[in-house]
Chain A
Amino acid sequence: MSTRDKLSVIGKSRRRVDGASKVSGQTKFADDIVLPRMLHCKLLRSHLPHANIKNVDTSRAERHPGVKLVLTGNDFPNEYGILPVSQDERPLCKEKVRFVGDPVAAVIALDEFTAEEALQLIDVEYEELATIADPLEGLNTPEARLHEYSEEGNIHKRLSYEFGDVDDAIAKSEHVFEDIFFYEGCTHLPMEQHAAVGHIEADGRITLWSSTQCPHYVHRAISKALEIPTARIRVIATPNGGGFGGKTDPFNHEIVVIKAAMLLGRPVKIALTREEVFYCHRGRHPVLMKYRTGVDKDGKLTGMHLQTMLDGGAYGSYGVASTFYTCVLQPVTYHLPRYAFDACRVFTNKPPCGPKRGHGTVQPRFGQEVQMDKIAEKLKIDPADFRLGVIEQAGAMTANYLKIGSMGLAECINKVVERSDWKNKYGKLPKGKGIGIACSSYLTGAGNSIYWNAMPHSGVQLKLDRSGKVTVFCGATEIGQGSDDVLVGMVAEVLGLDPLMIRCVTGDTDLTPVDLGSYSSRVTLMMGNAAIQAAERARDLIAEAVSKKLGVPLERLVFADMRVFDTEDPELGLDFHKAVVCGEEMHGTLGTTGSYAPPEPPGKYKGSGVGPSPAYSYSAAVVELDIDELTGWVHVERVYIAHDLGKALNPVLSRGQVQGGVYMGLGEALMEEQTFQRLPPRLSNALVHKTPSMLEYKSLTAHDMPEVIIDLIEDPDENGPFGAKEAGQGPLTPIIPAVANAVYDAVGVRIDEVPITAEKILKALDKKARGGEGRVGPDKFPEIEWPEPYEVPPPWEGGDGDAVNKPKRKRAAKMHEMDKFKKAVSS
């Protein structure tokens, strides 16, 4: 039996399965949940950037009418954190606060208003500490230390890797390019603020509804933080009103409402304000980066040495992974015969940084792609042709042992070049008008889980019964990206059904098999493959019964058009409903499962776990803009983008994802910045977020969006479901360097720093007019004491994927936390 060769659901633009409920306002987000006897929670957050907590007196707040409970750090036994190596967060701070916004106490009251009133009645005695505002200060200020477990002083983590002798390669190069770039931090800005409801059932079991991208990781964190076995906890991810990586960490407020619900025996809700979302953050790290790249006389890259320094904020979060991601994906776009990187993350007294759309790779791609533009100019090669000449090959293994599958970058470049009439525009537009090109690549799912295990990354379960209805269950989380639609689409295609006949149940740790969550662009590929497996197994069961009933050989049965029929005699068959009845008669109750785990990554060296992916997506973008030379004012006129996503499963959604990426990329390129400020030190120790509001944190409005011309390039990857790769994150990345390169084409100045504002362009134009270098950007990368690098010879230099040396590393000080966790979970 088979699914018909011609696809009937996949590849067709159709209304997404959750579309009607979203546009008609029926989708229930976390803050829409109202339960009988529900109480409301507010958090008291630190107004100091760094301080020891001497005492918390809650007595006045407890006496306030309507207040049911006040919690402090003493009410919580354990630390938690998303990465096993960074178990450094507490639901409420106990000994110290590390940034303005760090939660210290919680009030649970009859209503939100009363809870907020009572916050003012909590008396906290602090002892102020010196603050660290940026990583340079962090490097030079080992005390006061934010975390005892950091590698050294306030340096959270340092990495050093060498894939071949890069110094030698660069030394022998015809040209050497050395460039330093800075990428300012920015935040996700989802429309929905985080919200959560904790509820204890009569039998004592715990339920949490939360706007989270990763219910499975929240499930584990709750278990650890509160010492409750995972079997007694249920986490339900409500549909997210946008995530973009901002809801991938377990959050303090989620654990607080559960604890409160346990103590009070009543449901407890928390709904964060926009300011609080800025304090949750986990957004893009500010990154300083230095590139040293060698190019031979034929215009081929000989090697690259990249150094990055990340401003981590106050906690670990995904930071160690982010640090790797600022370096590992450089070799997947252009062939680098030798590659080395050093990276360093520093703690600062600001909200913790983490993963934002394009996790850790957006910043270094900006630097790399602007440097590519500079190289092409020096070599007098068209930047598009230069890129085409050094592109990595499909199926290649990179110097750092990433296995590439399908690779449509050349087609992407050719497409945007053709669409934008690049050849007639680049370098030829009137002064003030400019055009720029850039490329990128991104993972389709991280090759490894956040915590080491040998289990599937995604599981799907299928239930079919005599009603003819199919229900598909998966732990994946709908965050607006369309994952429910992908899930249903896969099953519909395999079983020959209309997607609207299938109900999906997702993101519920009690009802659905584990999926690791909506992060790293993993859902379409991993959940998709699991769904196909489950659906094919169901198809086989039904086919067996139908074959027997109709006397048609198995191999002649086809599932299509909501029927199961004989390919040779299409009249002979059953409608799907009857076919399921047949199946249930033969096999009893029907149900199947499917699961997916990514292929074993080829790298064996320590740290090789970050970067591998079952498939890499590719994008190329061209930006056309206009600059007013008297003010530096930028007006983006058009964006052309081609994105290789393997296969567009539902093209209208794919285009939406690409367009959304362009939107977010332009915001980061032109205006978004999460920045902080001090006040004059003689008057104040303050260190505050400059713009914690949707009004003053600037992201594009509809008026600011240029015309976007999108081409979907379909270069199917054998690891992808129906060949599909990701579209959610990759298309953001090329936009930022393409803007920078277009600015240079327009007015001849280099803005090696994001965001690219009118102020910076005018400053660069002024410098140029005075005869200086027409550039704004960082001038130096600090001296950092790097550890001895892992030396891993690239595949073409006889490497086997492992390091040939054994550099000494300090063991992370808090590994015992992991042991505590294991104990807590097993008890």
Chain B
Amino acid sequence: MMRLPRFQYYAPRDIAEAAQILNSEGSDAMVVAGGTDLIPNMKRKQQMPKTLIALRKIDSLRQLTNGSGLNMGAGLSLTELVRNDKIKSDYAGLWQAAAQVATPHLRNMGTLGGNICLDTRCSYYDQNYEWRKAINYCMKKEGEVCWVSTGSKRCLATSSTDTAPALISLGAKVRLTSADEERELLLADLYQDDGIDYLMRRANEIVTEVILPDSNNWRSTYWKLRRRGSFDFPVLSVAAAASMAKDGSIEQARIVLGAVSSQPLVCEKVDEFLQGKKLSDEVIEEASLLCGKVARPVKNTDFNPAWRKRAIIRIATYALQELRGDDMSEQRLKIARHIL
């Protein structure tokens, strides 16, 4: 089997200690929660931290508290999220996203914080060391060229997190903790469109908490497209959330596309278009076409980009129909291969 490189391992008991170690170890250190992303990457020598700071023994990271909204510790496993009734009822989009990450085994290990920090993915990068040597590496690790588009000045690796688009559509904030400060920012602002520097997290910061506002009259949904009903990362996804007035017209909508950019793609144009409108078939069609226009899939994952660009219209339609309240179980069965 592929073996892990050697590393030093710390297992602190509280956040302050973890932040302290991260601060003192500098750029050679990484934090690890479930390890479902980082450990295979280390075996493939994509990331070679000399020090791993494990977050698994920090109890406060696994807390889930109700306030006006929902405060979720970043160390909660995806399985724990899926088993939470409040998430299922009030934040359906997040629940559907978490339930469709990888496989049951990986959801048992993988955490919320890990999923929102998931390394960007690319078919030229997510390969073992020998394979990457055979293509003389790529811009994201050890090489110079972006093989997705050799003229590209930046890395085009794709944001493949399922929970982040759902969380952003729900208006989530994220708490970052370092040895000297603690700050909160909108989850949407955690990301930028660069396959290498995709996170605005500072090197000494740990994602400690995700905060959801009160769900009030918001509805949400998450549709993930992948070739198979399990395992696969998204080739595109649509997170849609909206607060609805009593007459069914949209007060505010947030549509976020996953896996079509190096960051979760916030579709402000679609949000603006939907504002004040009722989700008629015509409105849904136009909004879905708009989603298709803003999406910029590239050739670095399963399915070709032209098809993904077409498919996003269909998937956005399904998402908006479900948001409207349609029974989408038949379509869900065909797309997700099982009823969620």
Contacts and interface: CB of A to CB of B under 8 A. Distances in A.
A671 B227 contact: yes
Interface string B122-139: 010011101101111000
A98 B123 CA distance: 23
B311 interface: yes
Nearest to A112: B3
A434 to B, nearest CB: 14
Nearest to B135: A686
A628 B136 contact: no
A82 to B, nearest CB: 26
B233 to A, nearest CB: 8
B128 A275 contact: yes
A700 interface: yes
A688 interface: yes
Contacts of B314: 628, 630-631, 633
A702 B134 contact: no
B228 A700 contact: yes
Name the residue in A635, A684, A689, A703 with the highest tally of chain B Cβ atoms < 10 Å from its Cβ. Answer: A703
B334 A635 contact: yes
Interface in B227-245: 227-232
Interface residues on B, range: 35 or more
Contact of B3 (A116, A689, A759): A116
Given A630-B314, A631-B310, A683 B150 contact: yes
A679 B338 CA distance: 37
Contact of A698 (B131, B227, B335): B227
B191 interface: no
Nearest to B313: A630
A692 B3 contact: no
Contacts of B302: 696, 698
A151 to B, nearest CB: 30
A45 interface: yes
Interface in B290-340: 302-304, 307, 310-311, 313-314, 333-338
B147 interface: yes
B2 interface: yes
B1 interface: yes
A457 B310 CA distance: 56
Interface residues of A, number: 42
Contact of A688 (B3, B134, B337, B338): B134
A686 B334 contact: no
Contacts of A100: 131, 134
A632 B335 CA distance: 12
B301 to A, nearest CB: 9
Contacts of B127: 692-693
Interface in A649-678: 671
Given A47-B134, A683-B145, A273 B2 contact: yes
A48 B3 CA distance: 23
Interface string A179-206: 0000000000000010000000000000
Interface string A609-637: 00000000000000000101011110100
Contact of B130 (A275, A690, A693): A275
Given A690-B123, A704-B228, A626 B131 contact: no
Interface string A525-544: 00000000000000000000
A703 B338 contact: yes
A759 B304 contact: yes
B86 to A, nearest CB: 26
A701 interface: yes
B325 to A, nearest CB: 22
A701 B229 contact: yes
B131 A688 contact: yes
Contacts of A771: none
Contacts of A112: 1, 3
A680 B335 CA distance: 35
A45 B198 CA distance: 33
A193 B150 CA distance: 35
Given A275-B130, A631-B310, A683-B145, A695 B232 contact: yes
A113 interface: yes
A112 B43 CA distance: 13
B310 A762 contact: yes
A74 to B, nearest CB: 22
Nearest to A667: B228
B231 A695 contact: yes
A704 B336 CA distance: 9
A698 B233 CA distance: 12
A275 B337 CA distance: 28
Nearest to A47: B134
Contacts of A758: 303, 307, 311
Interface string B18-58: 00000000000000000000000000000000000000000
Contacts of B334: 626, 628, 633, 635
Interface centre among B130, B302, B303, B335 (most CB of A within 10 A): B130
A692 B132 CA distance: 12
A590 B223 CA distance: 68
B315 to A, nearest CB: 8
Interface in A260-284: 271, 273, 275
Nearest to A46: B134
Nearest to A706: B337
B131 A631 contact: no
A45 B131 CA distance: 10
B337 A704 contact: yes
A48 B337 contact: no
Interface string A34-53: 00000000000101110000
A679 B135 contact: yes
B218 to A, nearest CB: 29
24 contacts: A49-B134, A112-B1, A113-B3, A193-B1, A273-B2, A275-B128, A275-B130, A628-B314, A628-B334, A630-B313, A633-B314, A671-B227, A680-B150, A684-B135, A691-B123, A693-B126, A693-B127, A698-B227, A698-B228, A698-B302, A701-B231, A703-B229, A704-B229, A759-B303
Given A45-B130, A700-B228, A702-B229, 5 more contacts: A112-B1, A631-B311, A686-B134, A690-B123, A702-B230
Interface of A: 45, 47-49, 100, 112-113, 116, 193, 271, 273, 275, 626, 628, 630-633, 635, 671, 679-680, 683-684, 686, 688-693, 695-696, 698, 700-704, 758-759, 762
The 9 closest A-B pairs by CB, nearest first: A703-B229, A703-B337, A701-B230, A47-B134, A635-B334, A759-B307, A113-B3, A47-B133, A686-B135
